[in-house]
Structure 1
Amino acid sequence: MRRGAALAITAAVAAALACGGGSGDRRGDGEALELTFGHVGEPGSLFARSAEEFARRADERLEGRARVTVFGSSQLGGDEVLLQKLKLGTVDFALPSTVMSSQVDAFGLFEMPYLVRDREHMRAIEEAVVWPELVPLAEEQGYRIIAVWENGFRHVTNNVRPIEAPADLRGIKLRTPRGRWRVKLFQAFGANPTPMALSEVFIALQTGVMDGQENPLAQIWATRLHEVQDYLSLTGHVYTPAYVTVGARHWGSLPEDVRRILEEEARATRAFVHETAARMDRELLARLDSAGMDVNEADREAFLDAAGPIYEEFAGSVPEGEALVEGARSAEAGEAEAAPDAAEPAASTSGEADAGTPSGGTP
Structure 2
Amino acid sequence: MSMGSGAALAQEEIIFGISASPGSLQEQTASEFARRANEKLGDKAVVKVFDSSQLGKDKDMLQKVKLGTMHLTLPSSTMPEIAPEYAIFDLPFLVKDRDHLARIDETLFKEVLVPAAEAQGYRPLAIWENGFRQITNNAKPITTPADLDGLKIRTPNSSWRVAMFSEYGANPTPMSFSEVFVALQTGVIDGQENPLTNIVGGKLNEVQKYLSMSGHVYSPAYPTVGIATFEKLDPEVQAVLAETAQEVAIWAREQGAAQDGTLLEELKAGGMEVNDTDRAAFVAASAPLYEKFASEVENGQAMIDQALSLADGS
One-letter code aligned to 2:115: P
- Cα displacement (A) at 1:179: 2.1
Q: 311, 315, 318: which is aligned to 2:290? A: 311
Q: 13, 20, 28: which is aligned to 1:49? A: 28
- Cα displacement (A) at 1:83: 1.7
Q: 155, 172, 179: which is aligned to 1:193? A: 172
TM-score (norm 1): 0.82
Give 2:95's aligned residue: 116
Give 2:17's aligned residue: 38
Q: Over residues 38-69 of structure 1, what are the superposed CA-to-partner deviations in whole Å (9 max), with x where a residue is unaligned?
A: 22222222111111110000001110221111
Aligned residues: 308
| Structure 1 gap segments, 5+ residues each | 1-27, 336-363
Alpha-carbon distance in 1 for matches of 2:69, 2:187: 38
- For the residue of structure 1 that corresponds to 2:188, the secondary structure is coil
Give 2:274's aligned residue: 295
Give 1:19's aligned residue: none
Q: 239, 244, 248: which is aligned to 1:260? A: 239
Q: Does 1:235 align with 2:214?
A: yes
- Cα displacement (A) at 1:191: 1.0
52-61 vs 82-91, which deviates more?
82-91
One-letter code aligned to 1:245: T
Alpha-carbon spacing, 1:210–1:91, altered in 2? closer, same or farther (3 Å): farther
Alpha-carbon distance in 2 for matches of 1:321, 1:205: 36
Give 2:116's aligned residue: 137
Give 1:207's aligned residue: 186
- Asked if structure 2 preserves the Cα contact closer than 8 Å seen for 1:102 and 1:180, the reply is no
Alpha-carbon distance in 1 for matches of 2:150, 2:80: 26
- Cα displacement (A) at 1:201: 1.6
Give 1:87's aligned residue: 66
Alpha-carbon distance in 2 for matches of 1:173, 1:333: 35
Give 2:106's aligned residue: 127
- Asked if structure 2 preserves the Cα contact closer than 8 Å seen for 1:123 and 1:333, the reply is no
- For the residue of structure 1 that corresponds to 2:127, the secondary structure is strand
- Asked if structure 1 preserves the Cα contact closer than 8 Å seen for 2:145 and 2:281, the reply is yes
Alpha-carbon distance in 2 for matches of 1:49, 1:313: 35
Alpha-carbon distance in 2 for matches of 1:135, 1:223: 32
Give 1:161's aligned residue: 140
Alpha-carbon distance in 2 for matches of 1:218, 1:261: 29
Alpha-carbon spacing, 1:86–1:204, altered in 2? closer, same or farther (3 Å): farther
Alpha-carbon distance in 2 for matches of 1:323, 1:201: 37
Give 2:3's aligned residue: none
Alpha-carbon spacing, 1:196–1:89, altered in 2? closer, same or farther (3 Å): farther
Give 1:321's aligned residue: 300
Alpha-carbon distance in 2 for matches of 1:122, 1:327: 12
Rg (Cα) greater in structure: 2
Alpha-carbon distance in 1 for matches of 2:210, 2:311: 35
Alpha-carbon spacing, 1:39–1:190, altered in 2? closer, same or farther (3 Å): same
Runs of 4+ that moved beyond 4 A: 332-335
Q: Does 1:271 align with 2:235?
A: no
- Cα displacement (A) at 1:332: 5.9
| Structure 2 gap segments, 5+ residues each | 1-6
CA RMSD of aligned residues (A): 1.7
Alpha-carbon distance in 2 for matches of 1:249, 1:204: 42
Alpha-carbon distance in 1 for matches of 2:135, 2:285: 16
Q: Does 1:70 align with 2:46?
A: no
Q: 178, 187, 194: which is aligned to 2:157? A: 178
Q: Does 1:244 align with 2:223?
A: yes
- For the residue of structure 1 that corresponds to 2:236, the secondary structure is helix
- Asked if structure 1 preserves the Cα contact closer than 8 Å seen for 2:94 and 2:308, the reply is yes
The percentage of counterpart residues that share the same residue type is 50
Q: Over residues 236-271 of structure 1, what are the superposed CA-to-partner deviations in whole Å (9 max), with x where a residue is unaligned?
A: 001111111111221111111111111111111112
Alpha-carbon distance in 2 for matches of 1:135, 1:333: 23
- Asked if structure 1 preserves the Cα contact closer than 8 Å seen for 2:16 and 2:47, the reply is yes
- For the residue of structure 2 that corresponds to 1:241, the secondary structure is strand
One-letter code aligned to 2:155: T
Alpha-carbon distance in 2 for matches of 1:270, 1:58: 13
Q: Does 1:283 align with 2:282?
A: no
Give 1:151's aligned residue: 130
- Cα displacement (A) at 1:334: 6.8
TM-score (norm 2): 0.94
- Asked if structure 2 preserves the Cα contact closer than 8 Å seen for 1:94 and 1:244, the reply is yes
Alpha-carbon spacing, 1:325–1:231, altered in 2? closer, same or farther (3 Å): same
- Asked if structure 1 preserves the Cα contact closer than 8 Å seen for 2:96 and 2:311, the reply is no
304-313 vs 31-40, which deviates more?
31-40
One-letter code aligned to 1:132: E
- Cα displacement (A) at 1:333: 7.4
- Cα displacement (A) at 1:138: 0.8
